[in-house]
Amino acid sequence: TIGIFLASMGELKTLKDCGSGQCQAEPSEAMDSAVDVGTWLIGIGMLAFVQLLQGFLGHVQSTYYRIYKDLAPKNELCDEFLFTSHVIALLPLFFLKDDIMAAAESAWLSEPLPLVPVPSRVAWLLVNNVSQTICLKGVFRTSATVSPLALTIILSVRKFLSVVVSIMLFSNPWTIQHSFATVLIFGGAFAYSQAPDVKVDKEVKSE
């Protein structure tokens, strides 16, 4: 969590530098890149809350698998949990129906793709949905095979790798905060992977 926080602060520093005219962007673009630190910190607070909520949901999933392990295989249980949780998550979207309809209309009126007569935003939305489906399937299948803590570490590493890929693809600056975040995230994941298996130790002692 601290590593991801430092990575986010590193992104904040790069945007603040652009806002003060210290990056290579044009002056007009640099002024548009000015960041309200208070708003940025609210976003970081939300990310930290999501990290905690993610860990809590991991324990909920683990309990769910343990209670109903005799009713079905874990892969079927995780598919059911995935379906149920996302159907329930659709309910609050009812209060955003006007915004969703406006966004859908805007996407439908976007320019078509060069080779296929499909609106470009609709095509990108479909691609994003497919990739998200694959990602979520993998996350829920992983949650059925590893502990909640291991899953949280895996997801934290994945989130940081997405930041690294973004920096490489878009040539964003690498700050000292990113370096500390790299050490904390990958160091923490490595340290956890080297921890002894407590369950195995207990079984050996009982024998």
| pLDDT at residue 127 in the model | 93
Top pLDDT among 12 and 59 is at 59
- In angstroms, the first-to-last Cα distance of the chain is 38
| pLDDT at residue 53 in the model | 83
| pLDDT at residue 152 in the model | 80
Top pLDDT among 198 and 79 is at 79
The 3-class secondary structure across the chain, one letter per residue, is CHHHHHHHHHHHHHHHHHHCCCCCCCHHHHHHCCCCHHHHHHHHHHHHHHHHHHHHHHHHHHHHHHHCCCCCCHHHHHHHHHHHHHHHHHHHHHHHHHHHHHHHHHHHCCCECCCCCCEHHHHHHHHHHHHHHHHHHHHHHHHCCCCHHHHHHHHHHHHHHHHHHHHHHHCCCCCHHHHHHHHHHHHHHHHHHCCCCHHHHHHHHHC
Task: Summarize pLDDT for 64-98 with one digit per residue, the tens.
Answer: 888 888 888 877 888 888 888 888 888 888 898 99
Task: Summarize pLDDT for 31-47 with one digit per residue, the tens.
Answer: 444 456 677 778 778 87
Task: Summarize pLDDT for 86-132 with one digit per residue, the tens.
Answer: 888 888 888 989 999 999 999 999 898 888 888 999 999 999 999 98
With beta carbons less than 8 A apart as the criterion, state whether 119 and 111 touch: yes
| pLDDT at residue 3 in the model | 66
Please list the residues that pair with 112 across neighbouring strands.
119
Task: Summarize pLDDT for 138-192 with one digit per residue, the tens.
Answer: 888 888 888 887 888 888 788 778 778 877 887 777 777 777 777 877 887 788 7
| pLDDT at residue 9 in the model | 66
